[in-house]
Amino acid sequence: MNTILTVENVCKNYGSFTALNNVSISVPKGSVFGLLGPNGAGKTSLIRIINQITLQDSGTIFLDGEPLKPQHVHQIGYLPEERGLYKSMKVGEQALYLAQLKGLSKSDAKKKLKYWFEKFEIGDWWDKKIQELSKGMAQKVQFIVTVMHAPKLLIFDEPFSGFDPINANLIKDEILKLRDEGASIIFSTHRMESVEELCDYIALINKSNKILDGKLSEIKQKFKTNQFEVGLISNEKEQLLAELNEHYKTEKSISSQLADELRLIITLNNGDTSKDLIRFLNNKAQLNHFTEIIPSANDIFLKAVANNG
Amino acid sequence: MDKLKLIIKREFLAKVKNKSFIIMTILSPLLMVGLMMLIIFLNQKNSEEVRTVVFVDESNLLASVFTDSNSTKYIDLSALGIDEARKQTEGNYYGILYIPKTDSLVNLSKGIAFYSEDTPSLNLLSSIENKLEKKIRNLKIEQLNFDVDKIKATETTVEIATENFVGEKSSKIGSILRMATGGGFGYLIFMFIIIYGTSVMRSVIEEKTSRIIEIIISSVKPFQLMLGKILGNALAGVLQFIIWMISAGLLLFAITYIFGIEAASSGSAIGQMNPEMMQQVQTSSATELQLALQEIKNLPILTMFFSFIIYFIGGYLIYSSIYAAIGAAVDSETDTQQFMMPVLMPLIIAIYVGFSVIENPHGPIALAFSLFPLTSPIVMLMRIPFGVPWWQILTSMFLLIITFIAIVWFAAKIYRVGILMYGKKPTYKELYKWLKY
């Protein structure tokens, strides 16, 4: 088995509202899987079904090859988007309680918590109440509570909201470390720059339907538009541009350019390769910049959502 | 099961460690005892105070009535005349009683007046009235040339001994006992439901507003959480009641030990106001006491105990799960108003009906409300000391259990959906929709 989680044809309706329409995804083991989509697309509904908070109307879910069972909650760690802790309970007691609810024995939970508290250098918070901590501090506790029982599958819903950049980085590194140690991670967000940094695979959900999924690198390949950004040094820019326009579709690049440089985005003709383009350009002028434009996750997201209407 | 235990433990500790819980638990018995002490103290003060009453008897017939007692002293200023006597009384004595001169006994009772600075004590007035009435009556009897003693011998008091068809004796004290135990149990359940139901609701709202709820229910079933919450709060409540009982008992014991004798004497001082009545009570009280003891033995104690437990559990679970559902449906306590009224209604009706049930424990209203499951925990408990046929108790319990299952099921559904809903102020229509999710 090399998928940790398989979701097959899951549907969920709330009254007459369809939250999930026949959604299937599979999350490979040891990867970071980005679950993307605009607000209200159905991400949280899907995550809640995986966590057995709500039940799907139809469809099946497998965790590590087995149909999802109540005991499986012990193997899942979930950091919800709407999160908080008991305000008047002490940090340590609270973490112990939540760990025990996840199936850890009291002594095990204590050991694990000690490890994490030391790692995050928050050992002296044990007897503090949550209401005495800042929001960022509380988020750290929240993160520990999510991961301390060493689950096979971790689900983070907008994990970076509420963190300052330094702590966000710390958490990001921890997430990647957990992946390297063998955990699989579902990462739900609509902040695309973090997708770029973290995700190996993505699935895009829009209006209750999955509209796209796969390996991020392959999706990027698929969404490539065969466009190249080129920089040409020439004294007669106008004439050069006219000549190029006869053969290729061009547009002005928005990126900064040198004084005597012509920066363009050129779309390849059908059947041409980049080699043909380079040869052509070399004959016309001095080529000092040549890169293929690879769509960002953000571009893919916007495009896919727009196509989906 | 382990998780349920964990939840119950947390809820119990969260409740018990709460400052307001600790303060309430410790302070309430102290307050109660303090209040009792205050009442005893004031009573003593009251009876210690000796009132001096001046009287002016122009008829010269009634002066013999005014003999001093522990609480009242009389001064005869008839010689001074009413005007002078009034002047002397003002500011010096409690008040002055004026009995005008009359030509005949028939008019003697008319025109008697009492002057005082403040409104005089009703007890004092009625005791003086009593004395005068008796004396005037005797005077009238003498005038008619009857023998007062013979007339006295004709006075009779009738005590009807009541007995039911099975042959058990019952008494007035017995029925008071029944009212007290039934009413007490019913009222206890009422208070418990309101106090701890609300506390369950608060706890649900707290989990919702602190946003921890989703983390918890990714580990346990919402129903487990709800049940754990309800049971944990109930345990805290039971603990509180036990502490109250024990500490109230201890404190009362201590108080009667310290103030015992004085408290008893102040009790008799109250009785003194009407010595004749007291005597009557005393003569009959020996038999009454025996009857009362008999009554206590005759109370269906075992039935009362077991039905108290069943109705207590059933009633509390029904109402607290409704409270939990309300807590789940709203975002803050201020939004609970619209749902609270329909919940409190049956409880309040039950208490009202309960007190009329005590008057007529086997009437149709009593029967109906002791079968209706939302009121039966209170009304039936009030009826049981009066003897309720088995089929009624069983029917009522059966209905209670059925309703309990149905309501917990509905409440759990609303709870499950409600805890994850934010920002919307729900309507009844909305809640109905949630049932189908």
Query: Between the CA of residue A9 and those of A6, A21, A70, A233, B297, what are the distances in Å?
Result: 10, 8, 20, 55, 69
Q: What is the mean pLDDT of chain B?
A: 81
Beta bridge partners of B163: B169
Range B52-56 average pLDDT:
87
Is B80 inside a domain boundary?
A: yes
* Domain total in chain B: 2
B20 interfaces chain A, CB cutoff of 8 Å: no
Q: What is the four-CA torsion angle of A156, A158, A159, A162, rounded to 10 degrees?
A: -160
A11 interfaces chain B, CB cutoff of 8 Å: no
Using the Cα atoms of residue A228, residue A229, residue A234 and residue A235 in order, give the sign of their dihedral. positive
Domain that holds residue B89: 51-154
The predicted pLDDT at position A32 comes to 93
Distance (Å, rounded) from C-alpha B41 to C-alpha B36? 8
Identify the CATH number of the domain in which residue A71 sits. 3.40.50.300
What pLDDT band is residue A5 in, cutting at 50, 70 and 90? very high
Burial class of residue B128, CB neighbours in 10 A (0-12, 13-18, 19+): buried
Yes or no: say if B314 and B377 are a contact pair by the CB < 8 Å rule: yes
Query: Does residue A6 carry a pLDDT above 90?
Result: yes
Is B168 inside a domain boundary?
A: no
Chain B positions touching A142 (Cβ under 8 A) are 215
Query: Between the CA of residue B271 and those of B50, B70, B72, B390, what are the distances in Å?
Result: 16, 12, 14, 43
Range B147-163 average pLDDT:
78
Chain A positions touching B221 (Cβ under 8 A) are 70
What pLDDT band is residue A185 in, cutting at 50, 70 and 90? very high
Burial class of residue A267, CB neighbours in 10 A (0-12, 13-18, 19+): middle
Helices (H) and strands (E) counted in chain B, each on its own, are 16, 6
Residue that wins the pLDDT comparison between A283 and A32: A32
B421 interfaces chain A, CB cutoff of 8 Å: no
Domain that holds residue A175: 3-217
Yes or no: say if B7 and B224 are a contact pair by the CB < 8 Å rule: yes
Q: Of A58-72, A271-285, B151-165, B310-324, which gets the smallest average pLDDT?
A: B151-165
Q: What is the pLDDT of residues B261-290, one digit of tens each?
A: 444 444 444 444 444 444 544 555 556 666
- What strands, in cross-sheet order, belong to the sheet with A76-79? A76-79, A153-157, A184-189, A32-36, A201-206, A209-215
Same domain, A129 and A247: no
Is B246 inside a domain boundary?
A: yes
Same domain, B362 and B301: yes
* Domain total in chain A: 2
Contact A15 B14 (CB under 8 A): no
Same domain, B253 and B389: yes
Domain end position, chosen among A196, A217, A238 = A217
Chain B positions touching A63 (Cβ under 8 A) are none
The predicted pLDDT at position A180 comes to 93
The predicted pLDDT at position A224 comes to 86
Same domain, A103 and A249: no
B342 phi and psi, to 5 degrees? Answer: -60, -25
Same domain, B29 and B68: no
The predicted pLDDT at position B166 comes to 58
A12 interfaces chain B, CB cutoff of 8 Å: no
Query: Does residue A79 carry a pLDDT above 90?
Result: yes
Q: What is the pLDDT of residues A225-258, one digit of tens each?
A: 888 888 888 878 788 888 888 888 888 887 777 7
Same domain, B108 and B230: no
Q: Of A169-183, A193-207, B163-177, B407-421, which gets the smallest average pLDDT?
A: B163-177
Same domain, B98 and B13: no
What pLDDT band is residue A110 in, cutting at 50, 70 and 90? very high
Same domain, A238 and A203: no
Same domain, B227 and B141: no
Contact B211 A83 (CB under 8 A): yes
Is A259 inside a domain boundary?
A: yes
Contact A15 B436 (CB under 8 A): yes
Chain A positions touching B419 (Cβ under 8 A) are none
Is B76 inside a domain boundary?
A: yes
Contact B219 A97 (CB under 8 A): no
ipTM of the complex: 0.82
Domain end position, chosen among A176, A196, A217 = A217
Same domain, A37 and A134: yes
Same domain, A111 and A207: yes
Distance (Å, rounded) from C-alpha A197 to C-alpha A103? 33
Percent of chain A with pLDDT over 70: 99
Is B166 inside a domain boundary?
A: no
Identify the CATH number of the domain in which residue A255 sits. 3.30.70
What pLDDT band is residue B431 in, cutting at 50, 70 and 90? confident
The predicted pLDDT at position B251 comes to 74
Contact A97 B6 (CB under 8 A): yes
Distance (Å, rounded) from C-alpha A164 to C-alpha B178? 68
B432 interfaces chain A, CB cutoff of 8 Å: no
Query: Does residue B299 carry a pLDDT above 80?
Result: no
For residue A210, give both structure tokens. Answer: 């999955």
Is B45 inside a domain boundary?
A: no
Chain B positions touching A73 (Cβ under 8 A) are 218-220
What pLDDT band is residue A11 in, cutting at 50, 70 and 90? very high
Please tell me which of the candidates B212, B214, B221 has its beta carbon nearest to residue A86: B212
Yes or no: say if A306 and A223 are a contact pair by the CB < 8 Å rule: no
Contact A98 B216 (CB under 8 A): yes
Range A180-184 average pLDDT:
92
Q: Of A58-67, B43-52, B61-70, B181-190, which gets the smallest average pLDDT?
A: B43-52
- Long-range contact set of residues B285-292: C-beta below 8 Å, sequence gap at least 24: B288/B171, B288/B172, B288/B173, B289/B173, B291/B169, B291/B170, B291/B171, B291/B173, B291/B174, B292/B171, B292/B173, B292/B174, B292/B177
Contact A83 B3 (CB under 8 A): no
Same domain, B115 and B19: no
Contact A78 B218 (CB under 8 A): yes
Nearest to A198 by CA among A167, A175, A214, A218: A175
Contact A82 B210 (CB under 8 A): no
Q: Which residues contact A86 (CB under 8 A, 6 or more apart)?
A: A94, A130, B14, B206, B207, B210, B212
Q: Which of residues 132-161 of A touch B (CB under 8 A)?
A: 142, 145
Residue that wins the pLDDT comparison between B110 and A205: A205
For residue B18, give the chain A residue with the closest CA.
A88
What pLDDT band is residue B93 in, cutting at 50, 70 and 90? confident
Same domain, B293 and B389: yes
Question: What does the DSSP 8-state code read for residue A129?
Answer: B
Same domain, B298 and B383: yes
Range A122-144 average pLDDT:
88
Is A302 inside a domain boundary?
A: no
Same domain, A243 and A130: no
Query: Does residue A261 carry a pLDDT above 50?
Result: yes
Distance (Å, rounded) from C-alpha A1 to C-alpha A84? 35
Query: Between the CA of residue B96 and those of A135, A275, B134, what are the distances in Å?
Result: 78, 129, 20
Q: Which conformational region is residue A220 in: left (phi greater than 0), alpha (psi within -120 to 50 degrees), or beta?
A: alpha
Same domain, B190 and B222: yes
Range A46-59 average pLDDT:
91
Give whichever of A107-116, A238-247, B327-336 has the largest mean pLDDT.
A107-116
Cα angle for residues A288, A294, A296 (degrees, 5° grid): 130
Range B91-116 average pLDDT:
84
Residue that wins the pLDDT comparison between B426 and A276: A276
Contact B219 A101 (CB under 8 A): yes
Contact B422 A82 (CB under 8 A): yes
Q: What is the mean pLDDT of chain A?
A: 88
Range B196-223 average pLDDT:
90
Yes or no: say if B49 and B69 are a contact pair by the CB < 8 Å rule: no
Is B162 inside a domain boundary?
A: no
Query: Does residue B410 carry a pLDDT above 60?
Result: yes
The predicted pLDDT at position B263 comes to 43
Nearest to A35 by CA among A187, A206, A242, A193: A187
What is the pTM assigned to this prediction?
A: 0.75
- What strands, in cross-sheet order, belong to the sheet with A17-28? A17-28, A3-14, A58-63, A66-67
Range B134-138 average pLDDT:
86
Same domain, A267 and A190: no
B4 interfaces chain A, CB cutoff of 8 Å: no
Q: What is the pLDDT of residues B210-248, one digit of tens each?
A: 889 989 988 998 899 999 999 999 999 889 888 888 887
